[in-house]
Structure 1
Amino acid sequence: MHLLAPLGLVLTLAGLFGLGACIWRGVRIRRSALPPAEVHAALHRLIALNLASVGAAAIGLGLLVVGLVL
């Protein structure tokens, strides 16, 4: 039970770092001189990283709240 809050904090920070990386990669892809079809494909692949980051941050936040309540 004592590990829930620190584990939640680490998972939340990892998710937020992933979201920052997703934003950074998205901006780099948009500014690149690729054809529109390749830009669309690259941004479409970036959705998986975005979804994983949001999920990790949400689960980490849930663990953090449960760890603090208990």
Structure 2
Amino acid sequence: MGGLIWVGTAATAAGIGGLFWCIWQVTRAKRAGLDDAALRARLQRIVVLNLAALGVSALGLALVIAGIVLG
């Protein structure tokens, strides 16, 4: 079950990295000085990636917990 914990840890780290990347992208988008419609369109794409990163992170944490419980 140690492998399950390491896979979960990697998925969690990737998800958290994705969350930080989304924060960086939103900051760049706001500083770009775009009009309202363009900013809204860019943020909508980032929100989708943000939710995906959050899901990967949650799945990774679930794998870590499963590995601990089963191990």
Alignment TM-score, normalising by the size of structure 2: 0.93
Specify the alignment match of 2:54 in structure 1: 54
Cα distance in structure 2, aligned partners of 1:51 and 1:7? 20
Superposed CA offset, 1:8-61 (max 9, x none) = 000000000000000000011011121111001000111111011000000000
Cα distance in structure 1, aligned partners of 2:20 and 2:47? 13
Specify the alignment match of 1:20 in structure 2: 20
Q: How many residue pairs are counted as aligned between the two chains?
A: 70
Cα distance in structure 1, aligned partners of 2:2 and 2:64? 11
Task: Describe the SS at the equivalent of 2:2.
Answer: coil
Listed as ranges, the gaps of 5+ residues in structure 1 are none
Q: Percent identity?
A: 43
**Residue identity in the other structure for 2:51:** L
**Residue identity in the other structure for 2:11:** L
* Greater than 4 Å deviation, 4+ residue runs: none
Cα distance in structure 2, aligned partners of 1:2 and 1:28? 39
Specify the alignment match of 1:64 in structure 2: 64
> Quick check: 1:42 aligned with 2:42?
yes
> Quick check: 1:3 aligned with 2:3?
yes
CA-based RMSD? 0.8
